[in-house]
Amino acid sequence: MTRTAFQTADFTAEPVDDSETHVVQPLLDRCEDYHQIAYGRPALPDQARNIPSERPPGLAPGQGQLLALRDAHGVLAGMIEALRDFPAQGEWYIGLLLLAPEARGQGRGEAVLSAYEGHVRANGGRLLRVAVVEDNTVGRRFWTRVGFQPEQWVGPIEQGLKHNRVLKMTKALG
């Protein structure tokens, strides 16, 4: 039986266990545009398997969360990688919200985020955090459009082959 975290008109969000993160590798491979912006290279062959080990140290079991976004046919069309109660209780940090190139547009990202916000609120979250690399202008426009407020620029931070300045943004959940 598949567990569902939330649903939108187009997608079902299913939790992915840390031992199964390889299921999102094909999505990472298809999103070379994002990886070039963020890392200056395509996704690494083991990028998905490394997701759990790239989380901050000291997290409790279950704090790291990976959700596969599947379409009506069960095809992987996106993912959310997040941290619950990080850096503080009630604050959730979205490390990555990524839709496959063919799934972008038509308001799907906004629908996913809206449904995810409901999931976060239902699980005690009151604030969402995200950090967007400076060169990701499309991403910054998206996060601003959906109500995230700029907090501060940090960096440069080494990411893959690049040194990126990153804009930390927040959104209070009502």
The helix/strand/coil state of 114 is helix
The helix/strand/coil state of 145 is helix
120-143: average pLDDT: 96
pLDDT tens, residue by residue, 97-117: 999 999 998 899 999 999 999
Give yes or no for a contact between 15 and 136, defined as CB atoms under 8 angstroms apart. no
Whole-number Å distance between alpha carbons of 120 and 137? 26
The helix/strand/coil state of 11 is coil
Indicate if the pLDDT at residue 119 is higher than 90. yes
The pLDDT assigned to 174 comes to: 83
The pLDDT assigned to 157 comes to: 93
Q: Which helix (H) or strand (E) holds 162?
A: strand 162-172
Whole-number Å distance between alpha carbons of 51 and 48? 5
Q: Strand 64-70 vs strand 12-15: parallel, antiparallel, or unpaired?
A: antiparallel
Indicate if the pLDDT at residue 1 is higher than 60. no
76-100: average pLDDT: 97
Distance between first and last Cα of the chain: 32
pLDDT tens, residue by residue, 3-31: 899 999 999 999 999 999 999 999 999 99
Q: Where are the domains of the chain?
A: 6-172
CA-based nearest residue to 102, from 71, 140, 142: 71
What mean pLDDT value characterizes the chain? 95
6-172: CATH topology:
Aminopeptidase (3.40.630)
Indicate if the pLDDT at residue 70 is higher than 90. yes
The pLDDT assigned to 136 comes to: 96
Q: State the DSSP code for 169.
A: E
70-77: average pLDDT: 96
pLDDT tens, residue by residue, 38-65: 999 999 999 999 999 999 999 998 899 9
The pLDDT assigned to 2 comes to: 61
